[in-house]
Amino acid sequence: MQTVIDNAKPFSFSFDPQSTALIVIDMQRDFVLKGGFGEALGNNVEPMSAIIPNLQKLLECCRKHNMLIIHTREGHRADLSDCPKAKLTRGNKTFIGEMGPMGRILVRGEYGHDFIDELRPKEGEIVLDKPGKDAFYATDLELILQNKGIKSLIVCGVTTEVCVQTTCRAANDRGYELVVPSDCTASYFKEFYQTTLDMITAQGAIIGWVCTSNDLIKALED
């Protein structure tokens, strides 16, 4: 059955919850907490925490509606063999693979690489480890979505202009309709946050739609 978010931008967004997946991008300690990769890149990580309660509410609603839920984690093998030099050399204080207060930065299995306590996946939800910014790149995401009959995506998480936007563009190219709940994504840069959302909806939803989590939840509950 179609669900409609009337107030979505740039116009109403319609989706069937049974063929829609919620993708929560990279809500890991390394991006959200002090001492992680986000801070090592020189950022103030505070805006990341503000979206946690909104994400919790949205997750609960999607769980209630038996929707497919996917949690992604950006990170690398301990030997860094899946991390290109172009990524390994980015940073300013602590680089990927180096030891930080939460373990080796963005390395799988380390404390900092894992999800924040507030947004841990529930049993049966999919955890997708990805080496890049695009959740489709070098992962089995497309295969999973195809096997589950998914046609639409709700994309949230961090950061708006990096992993969220990159995944939205990749999803759009693959034929998925997508909506980004604006209060369930965050950036270290206020201006990038808004510009990214504008870029997604511009030109008649060139990449996808944007709504509020309240409007999305209300549409699902009605």
Asked if 26 touches ligand TIU (CB under 6 A), the answer is: yes
Q: Is 162 in the site for ligand TIU (CB under 6 A)?
A: yes
Phi, psi of 102 (to 5 degrees): -110, 25
Q: Does 95 bind ligand TIU (CB under 6 A)?
A: no
Q: Closest CB to ligand TIU among 176 and 188?
A: 188
52, containing H or E segment: helix 52-64
| Nearest Cα residue to 126 out of 113, 139, 117, 110 | 139
Please state whether the peptide bond connecting residue 17 to the residue before it is cis, i.e. omega within 30 degrees of 0.
no
Binding mask 142-161 for ligand TIU (x = CB under 6 A): ----------------xx--
**From the candidates 61, 62, 163, 211, which is the catalytic residue?**
163
First to last CA, the chain: 12
Q: Is 163 a catalytic residue?
A: yes
182 binds ligand TIU (CB under 6 A): no
**What count of other Cβ atoms lies within 10 Å of the Cβ of residue 203?**
9
DSSP 121: P
130 flagged as catalytic: yes
Task: List the interface residues with ligand TIU, window 41-70 (CB under 6 A).
Answer: 41
List residues with catalytic annotation. 26, 130, 163
Binding site for ligand TIU (CB under 6 A): 26, 31, 41, 74, 133, 158-159, 162-163, 188
